[in-house]
Amino acid sequence: MKKVTKTAALVLAMAMAVSALTACGGADKAAETANTEAAGAAGTENADAGQSSAVTTKTEGVLTFGTNAEFPPFEFVAGNGVIDQYDGIDIAIAKQIAEENGMTAAIENMEFPSLLIALENGQIDAAIAGMTVTEDRKESADFTIPYYTATQVMIVKEDSDIAAAADMADKKICVIEGYTGEICVQDMGYPYEAFKKGTEAVMELVNGKCDVVVIDSATAQKYINDNEGLKIVEDASAFESEEYAIAVKKGNTELLDMLNKAIEAKLADGTISELAAKYTEEVTAE
Ligand code: ARG
């Protein structure tokens, strides 16, 4: 049994790491209509609120979300003295969804590449982590409709001559382990160094030990606000848009339906854009 679990974990880890090939252009195209579709569903959703807690979760009455709280403004470890340790757009969404369905939200912080394994093992009910939907990840988990659109960007020093993705060819590139940014750079065939946390990669850049960090747009914005002398370079022809969605264990349609209803409603009534604006300003204001 143990062996089987280990093998499954390995397969998942590989799927996540290789997650590949499609990520730079691999955002789920079918999902792109989600924003408009959501509008029609809002009215009926409110009528249902409060009576849809029939889902089976790991712990009764608790909806356990896995995340990797190293990805502001979506999830980060909140400052000292704050009772709720984790905060961000995803954390707020998770708490609201749990509450609206008569449950409380529990957050389990783990390394990003472990999230799909934790789902498979039943350690968490759902993963909310600014996670891009890719064809490869869809092999290991089921995804809700997307709630946010992002893209990979390049963070460079203000005086950098990198103006497009192709300019990274002879540069020292930093990425974050298991993120779609790593997959994109891999696909481009450039050598790179992978770090566990965005902050670590950005420190390398600040200290002049690397020339460019490839990471998601909103998170990049947070890092350039926090560090002097950095700028963002975009290249829409190299990095296509990506959709973030919540992942559940494959086949858990009960929970998937509940989450989809909640996301549809939150897209339609503006909750998600408000949260995005709030946390973007919050991180910008620091
Ligand atoms: N969107 C990127 C991906 O899916 C990065 C997500 C990182 N999320 C996090 N919570 N650390 O690979």
What are the pLDDT digits (tens) for 196-205? 999 999 999 9
Q: Ligand 1 pocket check: which of 22, 114, 135, 180 to mutate, most ligand atoms within 8 Å of Cβ?
A: 180
* Average pLDDT value over all residues in the chain: 86
Cα 171 to ligand 1 centre (Å): 23
Residue ranges in 103-179 assigned as alpha helix (H): 115-121, 137-140
Of 2-16, 38-52, 217-231, give the lowest mean pLDDT range.
38-52
Best mean pLDDT range from 3-17, 37-51, 254-268: 254-268
Q: Alpha-carbon distance 219 to 198, whole Å?
A: 8
- Does 34 score more than 90 pLDDT? no
Mean pLDDT on 104-133: 97
Looking at the CA of residue 183, tell me the nearest atom of ligand 1.
12
Query: Looking at residues 260-278, what average pLDDT do you find?
Result: 98
In the predicted model, what is the mean pLDDT of residues 115-139?
Answer: 98
Rg (CA), the chain: 19
The pLDDT of residue 227 is above 80 = yes
With a cut of 50, say whether residue 48 has pLDDT above it: no
251 within 8 A of 140, measured Cβ to Cβ: no
Q: What share of the chain is helix, strand, coil (3-state, %, to 5)?
A: 45, 20, 35
The CA 172 to ligand 1 mean position distance, Å, reads: 21
Closest CA to 266 of 284, 235, 245, 239: 245
Is residue 266 within 8 A of residue 96, CB to CB? The reply is yes
Q: Verify whether ligand 1 is closer than 6 Å to residue 130 (CB atom).
A: yes
Q: Is the CB of 267 under 6 A from ligand 1?
A: no
Q: Is 153 exposed, middle or buried (0-12, 13-18, 19+ CB in 10 A)?
A: buried
Distance 157 CA to ligand 1 centre (A): 23
Q: Which contacts (CB < 8 Å, 24+ apart) does range 187-196 have?
A: 187/20, 187/21, 187/23, 187/24, 188/24, 188/238, 196/70, 196/111
pLDDT at 24 over 90: no
Residue of 90, 112, 153, 279 best suited for mutating to test ligand 1, as the one with most atoms within 8 Å of CB = 112
